[in-house]
Amino acid sequence: MQRLLETLSTLPIPGHYWIAYSGGRDSHVLLHAMAGLRDRLQAPLSAVHIDHGLQPGAADWAEHCRTICRQLRLPLDVIPLELQPEKGRSLEEQARQARYRALSGVMGPGDMLLTAHHQEDQAETVLLQLLRGAGPAGLAAMPLLAEFGPGYHARPLLEQPRWLLDEYAQTNELVWVEDLSNQETGFDRNYLRREVMPLLTERWPSMGRTLARSARHCAEAQGLIDEIAGRDLQRLLGPEGDTLSLTGLMSLPAPRGRAVLRAWIRGAGFQLPDTARLDRILTEMGGAAPERNPLIHWPGVEVRRYRNQLYIMPPMKRIDPHLWLPWDGRLALELPAGLGRLRTASGKGGLSPRYWEQGRIQVRLRHRGERIQLPGRNHSHSLKNFFQQRAVPPWQRGRIPFVYIDDQLAAVADLALCRPFVVREWELGMHIQWDR
């Protein structure tokens, strides 16, 4: 218990401690120890149990957790999940992600989630990452403290061996739930824990401590990589911070370029791809002809190139190219397929209120061959030329709402207004605003 208090003293003081309590032995040890320290903590303490609903006895586990928390006089939140197995996706990974989303959801700003990972858990993670071909970031395994949701995620038992938790549980006569799925060696971690780790530990008794030390070394190395990549990234980001200079990226050595790509993708909030796709970004994006618009994608992510800038985004939803929507011109118009909404505001310049109020307003998408005549111009020019001048990437051009009045193009979203619908700059008119 004293070791736990010492570890907590090295961490930020949260607004609230949340213990992830599964009902198993390890989380029960953490729960019991934290309950014993509650008078010495500088923040309130609660427990949270995630009911995955994947085991026949899940309801009994939740009731067991309620009983234990009543005995310890600790508040408990029980959160049920409704998991639908997805084809081609590991149920174990799906459950883990759903669990952490739910845990994040109960936390407030500055709160801290505590989980009961210990030294052997860390050793297993290092070996699993090694078998998956991970680099320093993966081999750094689980950190003691990380940002999580609106606050932090801490693992205060990470330096403690499993036998110490065993000893604590026996000394305090703790009662816990045994998860029978932990016996199933079809799961990689269970196979490693039950079949491989005992053999390795028999030969190398201090393996858990040694691999945990290797994880710390990898974490230090990754910290240096991240620091250098962060400096490179700031130099290569576009003016709006949402693009990455391909020219600058290609000027870096390949390992350094991959580090920048990882930092960029993580910073944009997307899942990292495998090394093969990272290499494809460097080779295909850098090697494609200027008129080409290459695309590299992986689940949930697309990376595209335009004018030597890289763009990253979620996959674009399919849209009907023949979209045709009537608009009263007063209420905001919600657009389909994630295209946002259109609304209006009054101000100097803009579209003529007479045309706007008396005409028939429609919203369509771009069709080939259309031309645009801008205010102050005596001739029209192609929309392709217009988009090129405005540096609008090709994949966005077919997703921009065009506003027509009486079947004549009046505005290209909030990018441009067209003759003859524009009032003089000192007159009041209607301005279109596109919430993308």
Residue 308 DSSP class: T
- Using CA atoms, how far apart are residues 310 and 296, in angstroms rounded to an integer? 11
Check residue 251 and give its pLDDT.
Answer: 94
Contacts 24+ apart (CB under 8 A), 322-325: 322/365, 323/363, 323/364, 323/365, 324/362, 324/363, 324/364, 325/362, 325/363, 325/364
Among residues 83, 78, 100, which one has the least CA distance to residue 149?
100
- Using CA atoms, how far apart are residues 348 and 180, in angstroms rounded to an integer? 70
Between strands 333-334 and 324-327, the pairing is unpaired
Check residue 109 and give its pLDDT.
Answer: 95
Angle at 253 between CA 252 and CA 258, to 5 degrees: 85
- What would the two tokens of residue 277 be? 């796709």
Q: Which amino acid is at 209?
A: R
Between strands 402-405 and 361-364, the pairing is antiparallel
CA dihedral 376, 382, 388, 393 (to 10 degrees): 120
Q: Tell whether omega for the bond before 394 is within 30 degrees of 0, i.e. cis.
A: no
Between strands 17-20 and 45-51, the pairing is parallel
Give me the helices (H) in 273-397, please: 275-280, 286-287, 353-358, 383-389, 394-397
Largest CA distance in the chain: 90
Place of tokens 């495998």: 274
Non-local (6+) Cβ contacts of 284 within 8 A are 294, 296
Place of tokens 């303490």: 45
Give this prediction's pTM. Answer: 0.75
- Using CA atoms, how far apart are residues 78 and 28, in angstroms rounded to an integer? 15
Instruction: Give the CB-side neighbour count of residue 396, counting CA atoms within 13 A.
Output: 17
Helices and strands: H and E segment counts in the chain: 17, 20
Residue 14 DSSP class: P
DSSP string, 404-430: EETTEEEEETTTEE-TTSBPPTTSEEE
Check residue 182 and give its pLDDT.
Answer: 65
CA distances from 363 to 228, 332, 351, 402 (A): 47, 12, 15, 5
Give me the tens of pLDDT residue by residue for the chain, a chain 436 residues long: 788 989 999 999 999 999 999 999 999 999 999 999 998 999 999 999 988 766 666 678 889 999 999 999 999 999 887 766 666 556 667 777 788 888 888 999 999 999 999 999 999 999 999 998 888 988 888 899 999 989 999 999 999 999 999 999 999 999 988 776 666 666 778 888 888 889 998 899 998 889 989 999 999 999 999 999 999 999 999 887 789 999 999 999 999 999 999 999 999 989 899 889 999 999 998 888 877 889 999 988 999 999 899 999 999 888 888 888 999 988 999 998 889 999 998 889 889 898 898 899 999 987 666 788 787 676 777 888 888 888 889 888 888 999 999 988 988 998 888 888 888 888 888 899 999 8
> Other CB atoms closer than 10 Å to residue 266's CB: what's the count?
15
**Is the distance from CB of 411 to CB of 432 less than 8 angstroms?**
yes
Query: What SS3 state is found at 224?
Result: helix
Q: What are phi and psi of 221, to 5 degrees?
A: -65, -40
Q: Which amino acid is at 26?
A: D
**Is the distance from CB of 296 to CB of 303 less than 8 angstroms?**
yes
- Using CA atoms, how far apart are residues 34 and 32, in angstroms rounded to an integer? 6
Q: Which domains does the chain have, with CATH numbers?
A: 2-205 (3.40.50.620), 237-313 (1.20.59.20), 324-435 (no CATH)
